[in-house]
Amino acid sequence: MRVIAVDGLTKRFDGKTVVDHISMHVEEGEIVGFLGPNGSGKTTTIRMICGLLKPDDGTGTCLGYDILTESDRIKAEVGYMTQTFSFYEDLTVRENLEFVARLYRLRPQRAYVDAAVERLGMKNRQDQLAGELSGGWKQRLALAACVMHDPKLLLLDEPTAGVDPKARREFWDEVHGLAAGGVTVLVSTHYMDEAERCHRIAYISNGRIIAAGTVPEVVERAGLSTWIVTGKGLGALAQELRKQKGIDQVATFGTPLLVVGADDEALRAAIAAFRDRPGVTWSKGETSLEDVFIQFMAGVKQPYLARGE
């Protein structure tokens, strides 16, 4: 079942186009990651898909409902987790969940709240004030609230910002559990390890999708070449390499240098004079999603798409 099918979504604010004719399709049970720099249009796109914002142009359906005329029906079946913690900090965990249960008119209310508390492992914290929770526990409360009404679609907007690695991993384990049960997930993130846990990703820049597909597809289609440099004097070498035409990225990862270029022939020519430097070893490396992300942020002239997006 196709849960999201939108074509040509466009949104303008004060004459500026924030989302520029975005089209995308998402199948049931898929986890699709939205990547892109701040201000690229990710949040605006998510809000149009779930009926919180009306597009200026474009058409589509979400959960089988028209995004232009049936937004209320969409919102009833969507769980939306915002970037910032949006619950009452002077209420307890349980009181916040009871409030959400009343909003969705869930009956019996107690049963739904009990199930949410149990599912997210918050039984021992249900009487704690939300404002006293750590970032990870606030995240659990937010997730518990947005899945309590058994939504068919989860929209997660930068859900793990400021959360420690253990809490992030537990969060993603829960997300994958939901997807395995048929819930579709659309998530925006800046974390490359999170993007790699998605079934597919879409990279947005200046309101347009410029790359889409699985992580291996996106990395392969970017066409980048990567070299790994180890040895002595790498700090000075990095400065020299950054001045060479044909080298797009020079980055330090622990001890080695990563040297990346979009044109393999030009990159090989640029590094040729440095390959025989004493005390330095060069080896061909694998391009990472982060390399691709940085390359996109530097500017991509020609968009490319994958898997029918």
- pLDDT tens readout for residues 166-179: 888 888 999 999 99
Q: Is residue 63 part of a domain?
A: yes
Q: What is the pLDDT of residue 299?
A: 66
193 and 119 co-located in one domain: yes
Task: Return phi, psi of residue 191, to 5°.
Answer: -90, 125
Q: Is residue 148 part of a domain?
A: yes
Determine the structural domain holding residue 270 and report its residue range: 225-286
260 and 204 co-located in one domain: no
Total of domains in the chain: 2
CATH of the domain at 239: 3.30.70.330
Q: What is the pLDDT of residue 192?
A: 86
Last residue of a domain, one of 171, 196, 218: 218
**Per-block average pLDDT, block size 10, for the chain (309 residues)?**
95 95 96 90 91 94 96 93 88 96 94 92 93 90 92 91 83 93 93 91 93 95 96 93 95 89 96 94 94 81 41
Q: Is residue 74 part of a domain?
A: yes
Contact 125, 117 (CB under 8 A): no
Contact 71, 54 (CB under 8 A): yes
242 and 171 co-located in one domain: no
Q: What is the pLDDT of residue 166?
A: 86
- 286-297 as b/e: b if 16+ CB within 10 A: ebbbbbbbebbe
Helix (H, G, I), strand (E, B) or coil at 157: strand
155 and 67 co-located in one domain: yes
- Considering only CA atoms, which of 174, 202, 172, 168 is closest in space to residue 188? 202
CATH of the domain at 16: 3.40.50.300
Last residue of a domain, one of 218, 250, 267: 218
- Considering only CA atoms, which of 145, 24, 170 is closest in space to residue 91? 145
- Considering only CA atoms, which of 82, 53, 86, 45 is closest in space to residue 157? 82
**Single-letter amino acid, residue 14:** D
193 and 247 co-located in one domain: no
Helix (H, G, I), strand (E, B) or coil at 71: helix
Q: Is residue 299 part of a domain?
A: no
In angstroms, the CA 192 to CA 58 distance is 30
63 and 207 co-located in one domain: yes
257 and 171 co-located in one domain: no
In angstroms, the CA 21 to CA 204 distance is 12
194 and 120 co-located in one domain: yes
